Amino acid sequence: MKKIDVKVRLEKDASLPAYATDGAAGMDVRAIESGEIKKNEIKLVRTGIFLEIPEGYEAQIRPRSGLALKHGITVLNSPGTIDSDYRGEICLILANFGKEDFVFQKGERLAQIIFSEVVKAEFVLTDQLGKTDRNEGGFGHSGRN
């Protein structure tokens, strides 16, 4: 398993993201404030976390499966990408697709953060692409089952 050092600055009362178990891929991210996300509402939730991600890496903000299943809470732009040159506060764009308003407390785990290596692509212009069995088939082309 590869490890990287990520510099972090925390506002007063913010919590450092942490792995919940030894096998966890993502670290839980906690809210720095209490609040409410009404059903069918989108809300920006502050974390009080500021990162310096090493060049060649990104951070991704993802939903927590338990909140998604039990309350319909998800990260709207999942995964939310945090570039290595961003130095602002990490905020969560959360959406409530549940049947009830969702109240959260300061310090509650609302999302998770994962770090990944970035591969930069260079486009090569061409007049023709290679053929495959699938070719242009998409959007359910292989059937439902």
Binding-site residue numbers are: 64-66, 77, 81-83
CA-angle at 31, arms to 57 and 29, nearest 5°: 35
Binding positions for substrate are 64-66, 77, 81-83
Return d(Cα 77, Cα 50) in angstroms, integer.
19
Per-residue b/e over 121-145, b at no fewer than 16 CB within 10 Å?
A: eeeeeeeeeeeeeeeeeeeeeeeee
Q: Which positions ≥6 away from 18 have C-beta within 8 Å?
A: 27, 28
